[in-house]
Amino acid sequence: MSQFWSDIVHQLDPYVPGEQPQDHRYIKLNTNENPYPPSPKVKSAIQNYPFESLRRYPDPESSALRRALASYLELEPDQVFIGNGSDEVLAHSFQTFFEGRGPILFPDISYSFYPVYCSLYQIDSQPIALDAELCIDLADYRTANGGIIIPNPNAPTGIALGLETIRNLLENTTSVVIIDEAYVDFGAESAVSLVADYPNLLVIQTFSKSRSLAGLRLGYALGQAALIEGLNRVKNSFNSYPIDRLASTAAIACLKDEAYFHQCREQIMLTRDWLKIALTKLGFKVYPSSANFLFVRHASSSAAELYSELKRAGILVRYFKSPRIDNCLRISIGSDEECHALVDSLKLILNNA
Ligand SMILES: Cc1ncc(COP(=O)(O)O)c(C=O)c1O
Spacing, Cα 350 to ligand 1 middle (Å) = 31
* Pairwise CA distance, residues 224 & 207, whole Å: 21
* Pairwise CA distance, residues 232 & 267, whole Å: 36
DSSP alpha helix (H) spans, the chain: 7-11, 40-47, 63-73, 85-93, 113-121, 163-171, 225-235, 245-255, 258-281, 303-312, 336-352
Instruction: Give the model confidence (pLDDT) of 303-351 as tens digits.
Output: 999 999 999 999 999 999 999 999 999 999 999 999 999 999 999 999 8
Residue whose CA is at the smallest distance from ligand 1 atom 2 = 182
Q: Which of 30, 34, 87 to mutate to test the pocket of ligand 1 (most atoms within 8 A of CB)?
A: 87
pTM for the full predicted model: 0.97
Which ligand 1 atom minimizes the distance to the CA of 90? 4
Q: In three state form, how does the secondary structure of 87-116 look?
A: HHHHHHHHHHHHCCCCCEEEECCCCCHHHH
| Cβ neighbours, 10 Å, residue 284 | 24
Q: What counts of helices (H) and strands (E) characterise the chain?
A: 11, 13
Backbone φ and ψ for 97, nearest 5 degrees, come out as -110, -20
Mean confidence (pLDDT) of the chain: 97
Spacing, Cα 2 to ligand 1 middle (Å) = 30
* Pairwise CA distance, residues 59 & 243, whole Å: 8
Which ligand 1 atom minimizes the distance to the CA of 156? 16
Which ligand 1 atom minimizes the distance to the CA of 151? 1
Q: Name residue 27's amino acid.
A: I
Spacing, Cα 47 to ligand 1 middle (Å) = 27
Which ligand 1 atom minimizes the distance to the CA of 111? 1
Spacing, Cα 274 to ligand 1 middle (Å) = 25
Q: Give the pocket of ligand 1 (CB within 6 Å).
A: 32, 85-87, 111, 151, 155, 180, 182, 206, 208, 214, 219
Instruction: Give the model confidence (pLDDT) of 235-287 as tens digits.
Output: 999 999 999 999 999 999 999 999 999 999 999 999 999 999 999 999 999 99
Nearest to 100 by CA among 117, 120, 123: 123
The pLDDT-based confidence of 4 (bands split at 50, 70, 90) is very high
Average pLDDT over residues 173-185: 98
* Pairwise CA distance, residues 242 & 232, whole Å: 11
Spacing, Cα 65 to ligand 1 middle (Å) = 20
Q: Determine if the peptide bond prior to 14 is cis (ω within 30°).
A: no
CA distance readout (Å), 227 to 101, 115, 177, 314, 328: 16, 22, 11, 45, 37
Residue 24 has pLDDT above 80, yes or no: no
Contact 30, 18 (CB under 8 A): yes
Query: For the CA atoms of the chain, what is the radius of gyration?
Result: 20
* Higher local confidence (pLDDT), 55 or 102: 55
Spacing, Cα 86 to ligand 1 middle (Å) = 6
Identify the pLDDT of residue 23: 78
